[in-house]
A = this chain, B = another copy of it.
Amino acid sequence: MTGSEIDDRAGWRPVARARTYELVIDRIEEQIVSGQLVVGDRLPPERDLAQMLGVSRAAVREAFRALEAQGVLRMAVGTGPDSGTTVAALPSQALTRLLRFHVALANFPMADVVRARIMLERESARTAAQRATEAELEELRELLDEMDAPDCDRERFNDLDTRFHVAIAEAGGNRLVADMTIAIRESLRRPLLAAFDDLGDEWDPIADGLRHDHRLIHRALLARDAAEAEAQVERHIRSFYRSAWLQDLG
């Protein structure tokens, strides 16, 4: 027999020795799931909580850091009403950081990310065509006008472009979809700017193409034409990906 008899027996796997800070997280999660902690609530001061849980302050702090990284907590010094450690609602920022790291690590292939982006933004465009308010449509138009300015460099263009797509996602009304859209766009910011620079002289015609695409999307939204908005968004993203990365999505 090559292995030990007590190994790989179905149904048995080693217990993961929980680290102290994970136990602290578990206690906090209990409070959240049971509804005893809601967004805006304050947690006890680190020193107090450490004593209450019977652990060191360092363990509490490491737990807080992990939760802060997930956008669940917000920490601030001082005394006032906004100070201390409070339960936050920052899923968008946390999602963005998470995705940025994993895109940089190439855990998600670029093509997969772009396909996901198409899926998300089609959904948002469809919903936005149905329920965007007049004010939201007007805001989109203003963004497009700003992108037409002659002194709009590539970085500013990209930031306005991002705001345009994010505004559509938020007009779509689905928080989760909007936050995922934001996360994808922001995580692509650096590679996108690098691709813009690589374009060299080809930039101007491509930017004009993007401006034209955006107007078509905006027009479809104004016309409340969900199918057209979806189609234009998909065409827009695919053609941009093709020109910036010289690849097709198949």
A143 within 8 A of B: no
A193 within 8 A of B: no
Which residues of B lie under 8 Å from residue A66 when comparing CB positions? 65-66, 68-69
A39 within 8 A of B: yes
Which residues of B lie under 8 Å from residue A33 when comparing CB positions? 104, 190
Secondary structure at the A interface, as helix, strand, loop or mixed, is helix
Structural contact, B123 and A119, CB atoms closer than 8 A: yes
A55 within 8 A of B: no
Q: Which of A144-152, A172-180, A195-203 lines the interface with chain B?
A: A172-180
Structural contact, B116 and A176, CB atoms closer than 8 A: yes
A8 within 8 A of B: no
Closest chain B CB from A11 CB (angstroms): 13
A102 within 8 A of B: yes
Q: A66 to B21, alpha carbons, bound, how many Å? A: 12
Interface size class of A (residues with CB under 8 A): 35 or more
Which residues of B lie under 8 Å from residue A116 when comparing CB positions? 174, 176-177, 180
Which residues of B lie under 8 Å from residue A29 when comparing CB positions? 101, 104
A222 within 8 A of B: no
Structural contact, B105 and A32, CB atoms closer than 8 A: yes
Structural contact, B71 and A102, CB atoms closer than 8 A: yes
Which residues of B lie under 8 Å from residue A62 when comparing CB positions? 61-62, 65
Closest chain B CB from A124 CB (angstroms): 10
Closest chain B CB from A105 CB (angstroms): 6
Which residues of B lie under 8 Å from residue A102 when comparing CB positions? 71-72, 89, 91
A43 within 8 A of B: no
